[in-house]
Amino acid sequence: MSTVLTAARHELLASVRAKAPYALVAAFLGMVAASTFIGWRTSVTVTSIYDQVLADGLTTQPNPFTDVSPLYYVRNTVIYVLLIGSLMAATLGVQSALRDRRAETAALIGTRPVDGRALRAGRLLGLGLLLAALVGITQIITWISVSALVGGALTTSETLAIAGFGVLTWLLLIGFAGIGVLSGRLLRRERTALLAPVVVWAAIAFVVPQLGTAARPVSLLNPVPLPAQDSGAFSWLSQLLSPLAITEHFKTASAALLGSSYTGSPLTSAIVVALFACVAVAIAILIRSDRTTGGTHE
């Protein structure tokens, strides 16, 4: 147990001291902060457009944004978690795995009577704590900015929904951190170690959902999850690949929490995201690698 805690403490300290991933962390926090404003500005404009349409006598339909939940403004944050948060977590994971190799201290650690699995579990615990702190900051930013935009404190249920979204975000991020750690330990070069999780992310975010929905890749960055196609080859392809469409499940569960429109079962989607986190972390802890010693060369 002391190995786990010592490794976790060291991981936290080393991750905070490493300046390289700061740009990603800053981009993540910045975009989460900006997303609420973007959502609010867009909603205000759409309401103005609706008022104009009504004044011109062009429609009798009701305003689609009447009675919209204050959490509607947060829906873009889902995409920034998928885009920037996932890659930030994977990068932190890769950096964690490469740190000892770069400093050439891995061999030194190997001379000590340390259980490798406890060491790896401790490092992931440290990463998990760091990610929890970052997610916590984003949720506080979100709560304050939405409260400011709607002109009053959010209700308890809205606050709990934001907290639930935070937990879901953390699960997704720790899963990608696990993939990053694994990549850093298995691949020899830093370039390939960083590229591999990005390619895995791209496959999960674009290729797998495209095969199940026939959507074009970039449209999958829309916060609204796309329904699976139920005709032709897509009906069984979407069922077969559904467990791998982690990002679409994240969008579904998040949309349900934030009161946006969604397709599918939010509970199933939340379970898939949690399973993804468990499997990725377990594999990152259990798989051993001979590449943990030796430098990182291009």
Site string for other proteins, 196-225 (x = CB under 8 A): --xx--x---xx--xx--x-xxx--xxxx-
Q: What is the DSSP string of 188-236?
A: SSHHHHHHHHHHHHHIIIIIHHHHHH---GGGGGSSSPPPPP-STHHHH
Q: Tell me, by CB under 8 A, how many residues bind other proteins.
A: 62
Q: How far apart are CA 78 and CA 165, in angstroms?
A: 9
With binding defined as CB under 8 A, does residue 46 bind other proteins? yes
Candidates 14, 33, 38, 186: give the one binding other proteins (CB under 8 A): 38
Return the range that interacts with other proteins (CB under 8 A); candidates 115-123, 148-156, 189-197, 250-258: 189-197
Give, to the nearest 10 degrees, the angle between helix 86-103 and helix 190-202.
160
The dihedral formed by the CA atoms of 180, 86, 166 and 36, expressed in degrees to the nearest 10:
160
- Helix, strand or coil for residue 80? helix
Using CB under 8 A as the binding rule, whether residue 157 contacts other proteins is answered as no
Question: What are residue 18's phi and psi, to 5 degrees?
Answer: -70, 120
Closest CA to 251 of 260, 243, 242, 240: 260
- Minimum distance between the CB of residue 5 and other proteins, rounded to whole angstroms? 27
Q: Is 194 in the site for other proteins (CB under 8 A)?
A: yes
Nearest Cα residue to 138 out of 112, 166, 118, 167: 166
Work out how close the CB of 160 gets to other proteins at its nearest, in angstroms, rounded to a whole number: 26
Instruction: Quote the least distance from Cβ 274 to other proteins, whole Å.
Output: 26
Q: Of 43 and 293, which has the nearer Cβ to other proteins?
A: 43
Task: Report in angstroms how near the CB of residue 209 gets to other proteins at its nearest.
Answer: 11
Answer whether 43's CB lies under 8 Å from 153's CB.
no
The footprint of other proteins (CB under 8 A) covers 19-21, 23-24, 27, 31, 38-39, 41-43, 45-46, 48-50, 52-53, 56, 58-59, 61, 64-65, 76, 79-80, 83-84, 87, 91, 95, 102, 190-192, 194-195, 198-199, 202, 206-207, 210-211, 214, 216-218, 221-224, 229, 231-234, 261, 297-298
